[in-house]
Amino acid sequence: MRPDVHLPVDQSGSIFAPGPREKCGVFGIWGHPRGVHLSYLGLYAQQHRGQESAGIAVSDGVTLEATAGMGLVSDVFNEDTLNRLARAGTAGAIGHNRYSTAGGSKACNVQPLLQSFVGGQVAVGHNGNLINAEAHRREFEDAGHIFHTTSDTEVIVHLLASPAQQSQADPIAATLRRLQGAFSLVLLFPDRLEAARDPWGWRPLVLGKIEEGGKTYFVVASETVALHVVGATFLREVEPGEIITINAKGMTSRRFTDRSSQPAHCAFEHVYFASPASQIFGQNVQRVRELLGEALSREAPVDADFVMPMPDSGRSAANGYARASGLPYREGIVPNRYVGRTFIKPTQEARRAAVRLKLNVVEEIVRGQRVVVVDDSVVRGTTTREKMIQIREAGAKEIHLRISCPPIRHPCHFGVDFATRDQLIAAERSVEEIREFLGVDSLHYLSLEGMLGCMQHKAEHYCSACWTGQYRLDPDKPETGPISEAGQLKIFAEK
């Protein structure tokens, strides 16, 4: 008899996804006459990176204005809202999708964050997570500063406004040198747009251009899929440690650090986060996921009747697994596209029903069959187990679960909202214990070597801390001083 299944709910009794949550998506454009509407489309294209809140800030060349709110892009903006912003912001615009990792899900934390300081107005959109934000915040609060949000992004504004940075020749560069962690930023000022990426390149940030009416308009975004949607041509990635300035004169670039250490690209962007249509860290995401599936097939072949994906994130890897193994590919689970957050009583059976609403198993396909189920990851495991129960109850003869990344055993401090270590199913369990918990006939995770072998760059150029516990920065001892060259190549093990 299987154990009771307990799925996480919030205080309202709403089911929430226990898997990894995307941090954010950012977008920025300067000078285009339809900049606001293109920002809306850019955010829409990156909705997968955050569904908690959305916002757009605009400049008319003198002042800034912003509209942001909780919910999806389509919830926050309508035609009237966009037209009003378009009239208010004829110079430039930035946009932001949010899924919180620092500060929590609160209306006060929606971005872009619009603030006034000694240098004028600034709006900030941030993708990532700062490990020294709390230390900076304590210093500022001890000095009498008042914070209006609980987000780490507000720390950036306080740093920018501080005399220590304002006295520097390049206040933005001086500010960025005080940040530790992952950040891909768009900053809108009345007269320009600035975009910057942390020295380690944890999160993606790309630069594109639109050629229209004999003019060139520059665009920045988290992913290339946003460039494609607005008709922009991909130029290149914003380099780690680089600041891009876009204004009426065009585009210029400078560096805020000359560090030449290895980057720490987040491998999970390829495994789960990014759109399959995007180019991330020089590779197409769809193709990488297919390669992950192919590698998984070589590492863990099984005698089965067909391969099926766990929608939607397992689909690309499942295609790769099926092709490499020679097994047929079939869609045995159909997602319900019309189910959002389901507000129900927090009882076990009601929670199970909510999960079943979102994923419907096709009994005629799985009944009596030996199935290989491919998914991208298992985080807490409770929802995965419920999915496996559904497949078993539909009559599957055997279930062989294949995961296209290694077991997630450690929390992420750099922009992924993984659970704390004690909530991660793989933190204290062996693969065999996880298999028993999930109720499948066999379970195999892709090895770290197999996963990184599918990537274009050297293995050491990717952050794999959530799998290995080896961090590029020490999350337990964040510093608030400027970036120094010494010690930045050390690897810190989780304590």
Residues with catalytic function: 24
In angstroms, rounded to a whole number, what is the distance separating the alpha carbons of residues 150 and 45?
A: 27
Give the angle 69-118-219 at the CA atoms, nearest 5°: 50
End-to-end CA distance of the chain: 37
Q: What is the 3-state secondary structure (H, E, C) of 133-193?
A: HHHHHHHHHHCCCCCCCCCCHHHHHHHHHCHHHHCCCCHHHHHHCCCCEEEEEEEEECCEE
* 3-state SS assignment for residue 216: strand
In angstroms, rounded to a whole number, what is the distance separating the alpha carbons of residues 110 and 251?
A: 28
Token code pair at residue 491? 């690897």
Q: Cα–chain-centroid distance for residue 495?
A: 25
Strands 370-375 and 306-309: parallel
For 285-392, strand residue ranges (E) read 306-309, 333-335, 359-361, 370-375
Per DSSP, what are the bridge partners of residue 210? 217
- Nearest 5°: phi and psi at 475? -70, -15
Q: Cα–chain-centroid distance for residue 258?
A: 26
Token code pair at residue 335? 């997602």
Token pair 């709006």: residue: 123
DSSP letter at 15 equals B
In angstroms, rounded to a whole number, what is the distance separating the alpha carbons of residues 160 and 118?
A: 9
> Closest by alpha carbon to 45, among 250, 274, 320, 255?
274
DSSP letter at 48 equals G
In angstroms, rounded to a whole number, what is the distance separating the alpha carbons of residues 285 and 150?
A: 33
* 3-state SS assignment for residue 288: helix
